[in-house]
Amino acid sequence: MPLMYTVSDSGDCETAIAARLEQRYDEFLQSAGQVLVLTQAGRGVETSPDALARSLAALEQSAEHFARAAQALATDEDNLRCLALPTLEAQVKQLREQYAEEKKALSVAESQLASERELRALCVEIERLPNCSELELEICERRAELESISSQRLEQQEQLAELRATLNALQQSVATMGTVLGIMNEQKHEASAETPNAAFEAPNVGAGSVSSREAYH
């Protein structure tokens, strides 16, 4: 009789298949044992026609039973290969998909748990913070310090602008003094060049006469 697989659970299906195969194997061994017993009996002392006929009939019956058991075993094997095996493969595939989904859900749950732990730690840190009034007072103090620093920076910028103006004036004065010194040096050189001529012409200077310097100019 072919096997009928109607179970849905993979464990029950495997158990039923294993039990049926074990039963078929036991029947197969039993048939083989009967054939062996009849064969040994045929070799015994009893050789009467009736005994031989009975032995032959029993041997044929055992052979038929053996053939039926072998056929049933082959049928069960075919059913296992064609029906049970695809069912088991489908169940294994379904279990793998379910495992993947559960693994993904577990990963999401672990991520949520980590986030929850971080939030709890943050809540603990928030509870350790000072009161809002103290924070506001500290903020006001920081703002006052910032305004003081800003005013000092403005004063420093004004002083820097004054220093730059003074520096520009000094640079202009230095430039003017350099120009004056250049002119004075030129006049000095001119005076040095004219001094020998004046020494030679000095004795001839009289009332109403024109000096060499005036003639030069």
DSSP for 9-58, please give it.
Answer: SHHHHHHHHHHHHHHHHHHHHHHHHHHHHHHHHHTSS---HHHHHHHHHH
- Say how far apart CA 83 and CA 81 lie, in whole Å: 6
Number of residues in the chain: 217
pLDDT in 10s for each residue of the chain, 217 residues: 444 444 444 456 667 666 776 776 676 666 655 555 545 544 544 456 666 667 777 777 777 777 787 788 888 777 777 877 788 888 889 999 999 999 999 999 999 999 989 988 888 887 777 677 777 888 888 888 888 888 888 888 888 888 888 888 888 888 888 888 888 888 888 888 776 554 444 444 444 444 444 443 3
**Predicted pLDDT at 195:** 66
Q: What is the DSSP string of 168-217?
A: HHHHHHHHHHHHHHHHHHHHHHHHHHHHHHHHHHGGG--TTPPPHHHHH-
Show the tokens assigned to 155: 């004063």
**Predicted pLDDT at 78:** 79
Show the tokens assigned to 205: 């200077």
**Predicted pLDDT at 39:** 52
**Predicted pLDDT at 12:** 64
- Say how far apart CA 192 and CA 184 lie, in whole Å: 12
Predicted model pTM: 0.31
How does DSSP classify residue 130?
A: P
**Predicted pLDDT at 209:** 42
Is the CB of residue 194 less than 8 Å from the CB of residue 214? Answer: no
> Does residue 6 sit in helix, strand or coil?
coil
